[in-house]
Structure 1
């Protein structure tokens, strides 16, 4: 059962030292009860208190990490149902599935297509996170060869989809040096698959069977919770949930239910990220992208697609980027002076704010004109031009300060600044 803030406070040092970043131990205890800070932020807590508070201090949704040749994806550790309450911290990983029964050349070609797609969106490079290799051949050696073909083509992250422990072991051997996500353990194979995950120190998907249409959502979640508890006792703590639902309505209701149980009821057995397969619940590629968008918006931790197109990739990546930004902190660019079209000392100097959308709108217009110019970006705390002007964050004094601090005056031979039209008053 979750501890209240006062119950946690009784176990803290009560020194009000402020080393945790809060003015009092009680304030820290209240935040700890709300899962908004970690116990490690208090450097003076005793070992006895740490043991007593371990459950209260643990995040409601466990953090799962995949790694591959310097690439890393962290999923989980979320604390709110709605983004406006605080923010969503870790964006879901998006993967594309390839089957091991395809020719190796085709596997490499599909992998290269995913690996090579990067789009620049308001200064942020966006791309898919990795590949999911599915075991369809029935031959563990062939599965290992498929994993190796993917690893030879990309450094992106991996999901190994196989219910045969022998195939997973072959895939893990081919993915040496990487930490993939293993998919999946079920009621029949969980001991053998969990042993492979434990030995590889890899996270593991836990799946319930949805083949019986008479099984209710509550029964599936009860079975999933029982399975995660058994696997956790076996020694595998990094788990991902597959509740077995695939359609629009069913997946939305079930994944939301899991999120609410983890956050509102502190139900540890379902306090893990969720993996989804939108292609299995769709009748067309358009349906797959639509369902993937729903799942990105509503609590999926890993999304595995069956198709890749640049159009769908752009739509899903931009959607993810916009949902997983802090609503309390506008997307900003670094203040400074930016050259466009190779300007010289006689080129005009234009000024705008450091709100990213404003910056890229102005920069793209100047670049498309073909004329050289300097673009001065003033620090307006990420506000747009009119908002910053109304708030007193974009006035003559701040523009003059930006000119001085950026060194713009040393790049031009004149003393003229072009202001945004709406504030040139």
Structure 2
């Protein structure tokens, strides 16, 4: 927030109604200042106060939502230049290009790849979120037919892209309900596209190769009440595009230039004819501030590493990925199945659970809350010692679900086995493998 909790409190109705989820208006103001709640939760805020607080609370890079419902994609919202200062807020949308001059078989293949290239990584589902539907033919009916097909078959937000305002208007006539992103508004078509944006309440891309011209265009849109804006500098040279991304982010965050405080778009598909090189270019712009990255096609060998990179960069560096403390059943275990123990660092959990699953030995996996730390780190920090583990085993309820009393602990904390036997006298403590890859062979000999 740009203003303090006390300054926010002065603008609140001071009813202390509690309908916002906290007991007093002062508590709500402090939560709002800390970014822990939303302004919309106050039902009695005056319009004047609401406008003032919304303006003050808008991040340097304004958040923009493209699409509606389950396919809505939020971009922007950033407040820092570098991830370690706080975090990057909303991961960029990865968009697949589909053009109306492509063969039907090519279009169908792209749609199939968009829908099927979905991955699971540390409990998160990774996939592309957007389809950029391009009008290359100049035929309105053909363009509308393609948009209809994409809307019906793709689980995605939509971007309409054309140099022809008539084609964009035709496209909007069949997908307004999807709240597509309009690409693009320029100096030449400003009045026409701005009118369409207002009529259909859609976000719009402002495009020009001059940052000064972009400042002028966004300023004109702001004056007309249009705020859901994305910036495209049109650069197809990687060095120039990168310079533009950095310059725009610096101007918005360091110099507080509201007219450049919008998420950006990069057409990586226009920067290289080679899919592997295109993926490397896209990876650069995942790290350097882009809100939407358009790819010429999707393939597993390039999309998956790009999605994993994006997930890693847009995780909170101050909060380790963690799995909830619980008893996890893998492969329908029964009362005679083995019981394994691990920490709740998400990467560790998904590696261990995957290895147990591949062993085909139904098992119980006890996940102890170690505040997202790995086994050795948690043990060294005193969060995964014998007394803590014993307390967890006693209270988690696993004893009620099995007949035996055998607990398999990670090999890296074998030193705790003796003390665990003292803490859990009715249990046999078994030291498991040090590496997850050895778990399948270990479980096959367990009895």
Same fold (TM over 0.5): yes
Shift of 1:37: 8.1
Q: Summarize deviations over 1:65-90 as a string: whole Å, max 9, x none.
A: 12245222111111111111111111
**Contact 2:113–2:299 (CA under 8 A) maintained in structure 1:** no
Aligned to 1:280: 270
3-state SS of 1:367 partner: helix
Aligned to 2:148: 148
Q: Summarize deviations over 1:190-211 as a string: whole Å, max 9, x none.
A: 1101111111110000000x4x
Aligned to 1:111: 111
1:365 to 346, 355, 358: 355
Question: Matched residues in 2 for 1:173 and 1:51: separation?
Answer: 32
2:374 to 380, 384, 390: 384
* Mapped pair 1:330 → 2:316: no
Q: Summarize deviations over 1:277-334 as a string: whole Å, max 9, x none.
A: 1121224222210110000111000111112111111011101100110111111112
Q: Summarize deviations over 1:89-114 as a string: whole Å, max 9, x none.
A: 11110011011112345323311221
Moved more, 47-56 or 222-231: 47-56
3-state SS of 1:337 partner: strand
**Contact 2:96–2:294 (CA under 8 A) maintained in structure 1:** yes
Question: Matched residues in 1 for 2:314 and 2:206: separation?
Answer: 25
Shift of 1:45: 7.5
3-state SS of 1:388 partner: helix
Aligned to 1:305: 295
Moved more, 231-240 or 113-122: 231-240
* Mapped pair 1:266 → 2:266: no
Query: Alpha carbons of 1:247 and 1:11: their partners in 2 closer, same or farther (altered >3 Å)?
Result: farther
**Contact 2:9–2:25 (CA under 8 A) maintained in structure 1:** no
Shift of 1:375: 1.1
Shift of 1:53: 5.4
Aligned to 2:30: 22
* Mapped pair 1:410 → 2:400: yes
Aligned to 2:194: 194
**Contact 1:160–1:183 (CA under 8 A) maintained in structure 2:** yes
**Contact 1:197–1:204 (CA under 8 A) maintained in structure 2:** yes
Question: Matched residues in 2 for 1:41 and 1:269: separation?
Answer: 28
3-state SS of 1:20 partner: helix
Query: Alpha carbons of 1:177 and 1:335: their partners in 2 closer, same or farther (altered >3 Å)?
Result: same
Query: Alpha carbons of 1:149 and 1:406: their partners in 2 closer, same or farther (altered >3 Å)?
Result: same
Q: Matches of residues 33-182 of structure 1 in structure 2 within 5 Å?
A: 55-68=55-68, 70-182=70-182
Shift of 1:147: 0.5
Aligned to 1:232: 222
Query: Alpha carbons of 1:38 and 1:254: their partners in 2 closer, same or farther (altered >3 Å)?
Result: farther
RMSD: 2.8
Query: Alpha carbons of 1:405 and 1:159: their partners in 2 closer, same or farther (altered >3 Å)?
Result: farther
2:413 to 404, 415, 423: 423
Moved more, 322-331 or 234-243: 234-243
Shift of 1:22: 3.2
Question: Matched residues in 2 for 1:184 and 1:278: separation?
Answer: 16
Question: Structure 1 length as normaliser, TM-score?
Answer: 0.87
3-state SS of 2:407 partner: coil
Query: Alpha carbons of 1:288 and 1:389: their partners in 2 closer, same or farther (altered >3 Å)?
Result: same
Q: Matches of residues 236-255 of structure 1 in structure 2 within 5 Å?
A: 236-255=226-245
Question: Structure 2 length as normaliser, TM-score?
Answer: 0.83
**Contact 1:246–1:277 (CA under 8 A) maintained in structure 2:** yes
Query: Alpha carbons of 1:335 and 1:10: their partners in 2 closer, same or farther (altered >3 Å)?
Result: closer
Q: Summarize deviations over 1:250-282 as a string: whole Å, max 9, x none.
A: 122110110111111110111100011112122
Unaligned runs of 5+ in 2: 15-23, 416-447
Q: Summarize deviations over 1:363-398 as a string: whole Å, max 9, x none.
A: 222233333322111111111111111222212333
Question: Matched residues in 2 for 1:186 and 1:47: separation?
Answer: 33
Shift of 1:248: 2.3
3-state SS of 1:177 partner: helix
Query: Alpha carbons of 1:48 and 1:205: their partners in 2 closer, same or farther (altered >3 Å)?
Result: closer
**Matched pairs, number:** 406
Q: Matches of residues 348-363 of structure 1 in structure 2 within 5 Å?
A: 348-363=338-353
Question: Matched residues in 2 for 1:6 and 1:153: separation?
Answer: 47
2:364 to 374, 383, 393: 374
Q: Summarize deviations over 1:143-182 as a string: whole Å, max 9, x none.
A: 1111011122123111100132221122122225211111
3-state SS of 1:294 partner: helix
Question: Matched residues in 1 for 2:221 and 2:386: separation?
Answer: 63
**Contact 2:322–2:345 (CA under 8 A) maintained in structure 1:** yes
Aligned to 2:185: 185
**Contact 1:163–1:189 (CA under 8 A) maintained in structure 2:** no
Query: Alpha carbons of 1:415 and 1:292: their partners in 2 closer, same or farther (altered >3 Å)?
Result: same
Shift of 1:42: 8.1
